[in-house]
Chain A
Amino acid sequence: MQHYSGFGLVKHALSYHENWQRAWRNPTPKKKYDIVIVGGGGHGLATAYYLAKEHGITNVAVVEKGWLGGGNTARNTTIVRSNYLWDEAAWLYEHAMKLWEGLSQDLNYNVMYSQRGVMNLGHTLQDMRDIHRRVNANRLNGIDGEVLDVNQIQEIVPIMDLSRNTRYPVLGASWQPRGGVARHDAVAWGFARGADSRGVDMLQQTEVTGIRKNGNKVVGVETNRGFIAADTVGVVTAGNSGVLANMAGFKLPVESHPLQALVSEPMKPILDTVVMSNKVHGYVSQSDKGDLVIGAGIDGYNGYGQRGSYSTIEHTLQAIVEMFPIFSRVRMNRQWGGIVDTCPDACPIISATPVGGLFFNCGWGTGGFKATPGSGNVFAATLAAGKAHPLAAPFSIDRFISGKLIDEHGAAGVAH
């Protein structure tokens, strides 16, 4: 693998940047792998990377029906935070946060993780009680968090309308300074490059059409490029998890919904943090390119269409303009939808399944991006050992039978 550095940039400038090595190969599928990962998004690529790096398992294929990082990895609003209420979720997301903090160095790829802080606004007394509770829970778990009053918010975000005569006046906020945003594509590309250099095969435009079983044990996957054998298969297919589960012959406690986001025209720097509001239901940050990155809630109906309804966009922009009247004349550049796999308790599933050797990592719903490195890290450990990593164990599919749910709707169910 060619090492990226400032010196390398200068060196390649001398040859007009025409001799850069390809970031990853485009190999022909082998007949058999030790582990096949279905889904070449951020989570799947991170899984492959940590399998190779931390567990020395390199006879691995990532099978992707489109191109690497072309699904939700390319469609999210890139927010990273770990201020979750319950211990299990907080530990998992904090695990990811710690990996984020060293990720660019680890991957030798600039993922542009910018810890500009994440602010969650409270608009009602109950919001504020929940915020106090959540911040206290975070601090007990060693996760940074503060409760801000209106004056402190105004200092950080001068352009926000914090007057008392708005429809939903802001009463305070939780603040996680270590949170922020990252460059979504770079995360996928960095993991792909790191995994590829250790021998993992990235099989793009290879669609899984079936999961072959022998009795109740997985033996491989059928694809449009033929059968690929593997004793262990990890499925990381986000919105299409239900489709894959159907191929394997069981149901998941997951429903797929469209989730939309939009970006504005690029502007000069005006917002240097991430502002989220569950109550008025919108969140916004400004990318390094200068465009406002805006997101909101899912469409209520099941959908795989990668687009959403106009009423949801309208609702989102109402919320943004409510918080930032200064943005009322900003023109929107693009709008798109991704398909999120939502769980009843707004927490993911990282789990063995009724089929032996077949593991699922899904159900991240509206907030999977922030967990990308952590998700891959614990799922790699789970695949390597054949049993759940301690951080992943509470997220077993069995919790929907036992009733031991991890109810993160307060911290996670709405805004991500």
Chain B
Amino acid sequence: MLHIYCPHCAEYREEEEFRPKGEAHIARPVEPEATSDEDWGNYLFFRKNPRGLHHELWYHAAGCRKFFNITRDTVSYQIHETYKVGQQPSVTKQASSSKGAAK
């Protein structure tokens, strides 16, 4: 059971209160009508799906009902940080590899 810190509630809650919503930081094309089929397909369907660090969107469904982001390891499932939508992650692949802690 994951124990997740909701940055809006400022509390740890159990996994069952939350719903994972997949990869974070996917920007919707600004002009959908002018977007090529390929770019639109990429936006809708194609994902990084990394083995290791993953920045992902979560929804506090049975809590504050707000969205936020989690940086989580997809192998160990360890949660490195949670942060609000609009903010950037502080734990990234580049940051951890410069510390020699890349996994």
Contact = CB atoms under 8 A, between A and B. Distances in A.
Interface in A297-343: 300-305, 309-311
Nearest to B16: A311
Closest 9 CB pairs of A and B: A242-B49, A253-B45, A301-B20, A401-B41, A251-B46, A300-B20, A400-B45, A304-B51, A304-B75
Contacts of B44: 344, 400
B41 A256 contact: no
Interface residues of B, number: 27
B47 interface: yes
B46 A303 contact: no
Contact of A302 (B22, B41, B42, B76): B22
Interface size class of A (residues with CB under 8 A): 20 to 34
Contacts of B81: none
A401 B54 contact: no
Contact of B77 (A240, A305, A310, A311): A305
A300 B47 contact: no
Contact of B15 (A242, A251, A311, A400): A311
Nearest to B1: A310
A270 B46 CA distance: 45
A395 to B, nearest CB: 14
Nearest to B45: A253
Q: Which residue, B45, B48, B56, B72, has most C-beta atoms of chain A within 10 A?
A: B45
A305 B37 CA distance: 34
A304 B41 CA distance: 25
Given A300-B20, A301-B56, A302-B54, A309 B49 contact: no
B27 to A, nearest CB: 15
Q: Which residue, A256, A302, A402, A403, has most C-beta atoms of chain B within 10 A?
A: A302
A305 B46 contact: no
Nearest to A343: B45
B19 interface: yes
Interface string A372-402: 0000000000000000000000000000111
12 contacts: A240-B51, A242-B47, A243-B51, A253-B41, A253-B45, A253-B46, A254-B47, A256-B49, A302-B20, A304-B51, A344-B44, A401-B38
A251 B42 contact: yes
A255 B20 CA distance: 12
A252 interface: yes
Contacts of B50: 242-243, 246
B76 A305 contact: yes
A256 B56 CA distance: 13
A311 B17 CA distance: 11
Interface of B: 1-2, 15-16, 19-20, 22-23, 37-38, 41-42, 44-51, 54, 56, 72, 74-77
Contacts of B75: 303-305
Given A243-B50, A302-B20, A400-B46, 4 more contacts: A304-B74, A305-B74, A311-B16, A400-B41
Nearest to B41: A401
A252 B46 CA distance: 5
A255 B22 contact: yes
A348 to B, nearest CB: 14
A256 B45 contact: no
Contacts of B45: 253, 344, 400
A343 to B, nearest CB: 8
A401 B56 contact: no
A311 B2 CA distance: 10
A402 B54 CA distance: 28
A326 B97 CA distance: 54
B46 A302 contact: no
Contact of B47 (A240, A253, A305, A401): A253
Nearest to A242: B49
B47 A255 contact: yes
Contacts of B49: 242, 251-252, 254-256, 302
